[in-house]
Amino acid sequence: MAEQDDKVTIKKLLAGEVNALQVIVGKYKRQGFNLAYRICRNRENAEEILQNVFISIYQNLAQFNFKGEFSTWFYRIVYNQSISYLRKIKNSGTSLNEFEGMNNVIDEEKTIEEIMSRSEAVHYLEQALIELEPDETALLHLYYYDDKRISEISEITGLNDSAIKTRLFRTRKKLYSILERLLKKEFVDFYG
């Protein structure tokens, strides 16, 4: 039903009702921003990526295939633009550590007391996510946060279903081992 609404809105936009863009932006900006943020790990950059995504969609709306779902198309563009953005950063010679150092706006803005009062597990998860590759984080985000099906993730990332399953399995394993290491370190730091 929601997909039908999207298609109606897109048709309106194509018919010249520019206000329909606001409906699309309002509906998808949060989801797109979350994915872009998970991949590029920086709020300002994620916003910039999302601005470009919506502009790209606006300019290429005529190419939208009405047989497919708009949300999948949208996610695919967000995913690709975020990955391209990271590649550009790497190619420009900006250190990834420096880039990662800019991340985690929440932690920067919150005091130690606030972090401690927050769920410990979530805190460790966020720390562990930083150590994963951006495309691995994106997979986890799409599967666990956005509840996307394997077939949808396949459409978004361009990987086949079995590759998605394998990567999800490996990424989970990697995440668990990072979490294990972080927890051990914490234990050693605390008890000496």
DSSP the chain: -HHHHHHHHHHHHHTT-TTHHHHHHHHHHHHHHHHHHHHH--HHHHHHHHHHHHHHHHHTGGG--TTS-HHHHHHHHHHHHHHHHHHHHHHTT--HHHHHHT--HHHHHS-HHHHHHS-HHHHHHHHHHHHS-HHHHHHHIIIIIS---HHHHHHHH---HHHHHHHHHHHHHHHHHHHHHHHHHHHHHHH-
The piece of 1-9, 94-102, 156-164, 181-189 that touches other proteins (CB under 8 A) is 156-164
Residue of the chain from 7, 27, 99, 125 that contacts other proteins (CB under 8 A): 125
Q: Which of 123, 67, 181 is nearest to 173 (CA)?
A: 181
The piece of 1-9, 88-96, 138-146, 182-190 that touches other proteins (CB under 8 A) is 138-146
The piece of 1-9, 94-102, 115-123, 182-190 that touches other proteins (CB under 8 A) is 115-123
Closest distance to other proteins from the beta carbon of 5 (Å):
18
138 touches other proteins by CB under 8 A: no
Task: Tell me if 103 sits within 8 A of 149, measured CB to CB.
Answer: no
The piece of 1-9, 54-62, 94-102, 183-191 that touches other proteins (CB under 8 A) is 54-62
12 touches other proteins by CB under 8 A: no
Residue of the chain from 7, 27, 76, 165 that contacts other proteins (CB under 8 A): 76
Binding site for other proteins (CB under 8 A): 11, 13-16, 18, 21-22, 25-26, 29-30, 33-34, 37-38, 43, 47, 50-51, 54-56, 58-63, 65, 67, 73, 76-77, 79-81, 84, 105-106, 119, 121-122, 125-126, 140-141, 144-145, 158-160, 172, 175-176
